[in-house]
Amino acid sequence: MMYPLTIGLAIGNSDLWEQTQACLAQLSVPIVVEHKDTGDIRTFLDRLEINRPDVVLVDISGWTEPIEGLVSAIREAIGDPMIIALNTTSDTEAILSSFRAGINEYLFPPLYDSLKKALERRSADRKHRRDGVASRSGRAFAFLSAKGGCGATTLVCHVAADLGRRNEHVLLMDLDLNAGMVAFITKTASVYSFLDAINNLHRLDIHYWKALVSSAMPGVEIVASPLALASKQPSDGQVRRILAFARPLYNLTLVDLGHGLSRMAMAALDEIDEVCLVTTVDVPALHQSKQIIQTLLENGYRKNRIRLIINRAPKRLGITPSDLEKMLGLAIFFVIPDDHWELNKANMDGRMLASQSDLGKQISRLSTKLAGVEENATASKKLFRLFG
């Protein structure tokens, strides 16, 4: 079974078109962009930028411009897809010039076997990226709210602060480009943001990175979201490259993904060890949680890498933990009790939660468990008593 891939096609030659369609239909690989007019490459690039396929197949049999320009335009539009050149000939010079231009694969008829193998290689590579992340240096966790208002941003900021106090070397990155509340909660003042890293990938090194991050909390370096909504969203490849660069520099990387599964969130998850799905127990949030879990599983994200966190749990609730787990198809990783009074007081005072407050202690237990230390059985039982 292949890891899920999506395909974009720009094929003008009728024979190449028919062979490609037949192969993809048999492999059940979804095509998200179909384009037959290879003379109108601008429209094709616009559609690629919207749909962002994993693999781009482009017919170069009638291409008269330098291949380098085409490859550069595709990568500028969507980052780092596999680019497969299709041609009617096996001409050696055409093959060499394609590879020199940055083409990943060069295929010619009959297409079925060679295209199938190329897609299997890409599938295996994507699966390895998602399954093999944890083996690399520096662990990475993403916090994702089931819907707006579930509190993932508040949790990730306080978990980062707690781990920083324990002398862990922590990176806190805000990838919620719509809300960007990490800087507000942590009282971070920075002229730079995540988008500055994106716009300077060509010069990204440790010296530039150190100038980019802010240190508003002990032991924690912060990359904020831009103050203004970006006019152009970063590509999947750009998001992955930033995370791949940053995570080996820290013991722990914590990422705020905002709420819902955006395209950028899905791209970031290729560089994330575990995603912490934060939900409350109201019906809309639980509904969204179930949808997110299902989408992650369908896209190859393993169940044992999804951490379900119940936030703002009331003292009395007419549902048991086992019923919740059965409903969502996932074990509950942690429960945070509702303490809006303490949190509101901290916000009004312009400070983080006190580490010795009741809610601060619960978040400390969460960060301990995430960092790989077993939570003691007594605390675990106490948390679950919140449900009844």
Q: For the chain, what are the domain ranges?
A: 7-130, 133-387
Q: In whole angstroms, how far apart are CA 200 and each of 94, 203, 238, 249, 373?
A: 33, 6, 10, 18, 37
pTM: 0.67
Specify whether the CB–CB gap between 8 and 31 falls below 8 A. Answer: yes
On the question of pLDDT at 233 being above 80, the answer is no
* Residue that wins the pLDDT comparison between 232 and 235: 235
User: For residues 245-254, b (16+ Cβ closer than 10 Å) or e, as one string?
Assistant: bbbebbbbbb
Decide if domain 7-130 falls under CATH 3.40.190.80: no
Residue 193 vs residue 377, higher pLDDT:
193
pLDDT tens-digit map of 102-153 = 899 999 999 999 999 999 888 887 766 655 544 456 899 999 999 999 999 9
Q: Could you give the 3-state DSSP secondary structure of residue 266?
A: helix
Tell me: the pLDDT tens digits for 42-85?
999 999 888 888 899 999 998 888 899 999 899 888 777 899 99
The token pair at 73 is 């335009």
Pair 244, 255: CB distance under 8 Å: no
Of 68, 77, 61, which Cα lies nearest the Cα of 12?
61
Whether 7-130 shares its CATH topology with 133-387 is answered yes
- DSSP H helices, 166-282, are 182-186, 194-199, 206-212, 236-246, 263-268
194 vs 247: CA distance, rounded Å = 14
Residue 345, CA atoms < 13 Å, CB-side half-sphere? 9
- Indicate whether 164 pLDDT > 60: yes
Is the pLDDT score of 388 beyond 80? no
Look at residue 34 in the predicted model and tell me its pLDDT: 94
- What is the maximum alpha-carbon separation in the chain? 73
DSSP 239-255: HHHHHHHHGGGSSEEEE
DSSP-derived secondary structure for 51-119: H--SEEEEE-TT--S-HHHHHHHHHHHHSS-EEEEE-S---HHHHHHHHHTT-SEEE-SS-HHHHHHHH
pLDDT-derived band of residue 2, with 50, 70 and 90 as boundaries? Answer: low
**Class at the top of the CATH hierarchy for domain 133-387:** alpha beta
pLDDT of residue 231: 58
The rounded distance, in Å, linking the Cα atoms of 220 and 215 is 6
